[in-house]
Structure 1
């Protein structure tokens, strides 16, 4: 179990580098967030296709595509497309640390709260308290961001909130759909659908114009985002999940936003300040409570990474 837990922690660390590298790209080039989201998916698709083929060979069965199976996967792809765009826009408009903290810490709490009525149950007192704690922690992060940046970066904060809501929808859809589709087959179809949705948006918005500003180093950074945190991170996470209880896994993955905040401070010079640090800790505690007492849906919220 220790080896599995370490693999999940490493996956969280790799996922945490997404926002850091993305912020560096937005600062040093003219690459647009939507274009980066599309390129990330395109780079990752061949690897997920290979993983899907390997998964099929191991299971010795072929997935039969039916409408009842494809529709939930298409919905997941739609959520993924919106999440890629909104999260990377939030990173561009604010900072990697605060965008990730809001985008990834709120969904587990929201899922724990929304899962209760979906199951016909009342939310527990701890779930409600976790929600209020998450709101308080988010407010503290906003106040800290205003203090350190000298202004209210409202558009970026709203994008981070949108990313959190989209990721909540993604998680609920993945939890309550009855596709019974293998993990990497789901990932491949989801990423392919998201890429097809983002492509016309990027073309119409002129997002590919920024590619001319990319040097070889910047191109390698794009490839890094598509391969290391996306593909290798997923493989590490699901490998670790085989020997690690789901609740423990969900708690370990809550390290990701904290890893991002630490890396943003060390590499990008982003400072949360005392109020922001307190808010980040409150958000993390809220996620742990939601993951521990909010039921299996909450526990699975953070399994996707950035």
Structure 2
């Protein structure tokens, strides 16, 4: 095992890019007037469409999966769809701060699952870093939590969505050991999109007739939080453990709340902004002292600064 610092500055950059990217998701969802299941469906189908030009080098691997891999991909895709449905639905019922702060539970759920399934090792500094980040997350959402009406329902939906994405990430760690990032993401996104298609058909949601602005939002969701967020985090699973990758979600309340304040006019106090600094400090401690697998950076890395990472070995 080796410290994440050995892999070079590009990994930190990728991780930070992913945090910023997923933070835009709640803003785009708020801008759209379509049903959240329709938003998620086209978000994922458009993501696969963007990935199609790059599918040729991976065509053989993508069709050589065994029964176990197909079963895990199916389960992972359904869990991702469930996460989007529940979490995006929560944004219609509660504030961005409340919804995203509940996602801070994700690393705890994944840490517990990693210890159980992968015998992951944790140290005191990792727990301290997680505790600091969670404390900051609670401060961000504390002034906005409500225990009545639609806000409570929204908070519950966000919690259930967090549980679903934790399962998705753990399944991803199983699959990423023998599958490239591209193949894994393409199939998982496609399964999730088809799950939404069936759901929307059953619910009677319209598949067309949306304004050009709505299609623009769907495309933004596909490119920004999905490609530069979820795809990037799934790629990092081959280099970082699921718990470490999931710590990125603790940065989401910080940037989502800032974006909601700037773009949606939601309130953000000085205390909440200070809590954002606390969260980022906690995430830094966790990553700085966390342990990860000593693998070289693969050739398909989205960003790889020359000389900043270890060369790939065969």
Indicate if the aligned counterparts of 2:125 and 2:289 stay in contact, CA closer than 8 A: yes
Give the aligned partner of residue 49 of structure 1.
Answer: 52
Q: CA deviation at 1:32?
A: 1.0
Indicate if the aligned counterparts of 2:78 and 2:191 stay in contact, CA closer than 8 A: yes
State the distance in 2 between where 1:247 and 1:74 align: 22
Q: CA deviation at 1:226?
A: 1.7
Q: CA deviation at 1:112?
A: 1.8
Q: Deviations over 1:133-181 (max 9, x none)?
A: 676556545531147x997710111111112111111111112347611
Unaligned residue ranges in structure 1 (runs of 5+): 298-306
Indicate if the aligned counterparts of 2:254 and 2:276 stay in contact, CA closer than 8 A: yes
State the distance in 2 between where 1:122 and 1:228 align: 33
Give the aligned partner of residue 202 of structure 2.
Answer: 204
State the distance in 1 between where 2:240 and 2:42 align: 32
The one of 259, 264, 281 aligned to 1:263 = 259
Check if 1:143 corresponds to 2:142.
yes
Indicate if the aligned counterparts of 1:97 and 1:257 stay in contact, CA closer than 8 A: yes
TM-score (norm 1): 0.75
State the distance in 2 between where 1:251 and 1:146 align: 22
RMSD between superposed Cα atoms in Å? 3.9
Call closer, same or farther: CA 1:231–1:115 in 2, change over 3 Å: closer
Give the aligned partner of residue 165 of structure 1.
Answer: 163
**Greater fraction helix:** 1
Check if 1:95 corresponds to 2:91.
no
Indicate if the aligned counterparts of 1:131 and 1:286 stay in contact, CA closer than 8 A: yes
State the distance in 2 between where 1:68 and 1:21 align: 36
Q: CA deviation at 1:278?
A: 5.9
Q: CA deviation at 1:292?
A: 5.2
Q: CA deviation at 1:227?
A: 2.6
Call closer, same or farther: CA 1:240–1:162 in 2, change over 3 Å: closer
Check if 1:14 corresponds to 2:21.
yes
The one of 173, 176, 181 aligned to 2:174 = 176
Q: CA deviation at 1:120?
A: 4.8
Q: CA deviation at 1:198?
A: 1.6
Aligned residues: 286
Give the aligned partner of residue 312 of structure 2.
Answer: none
TM-score (norm 2): 0.73
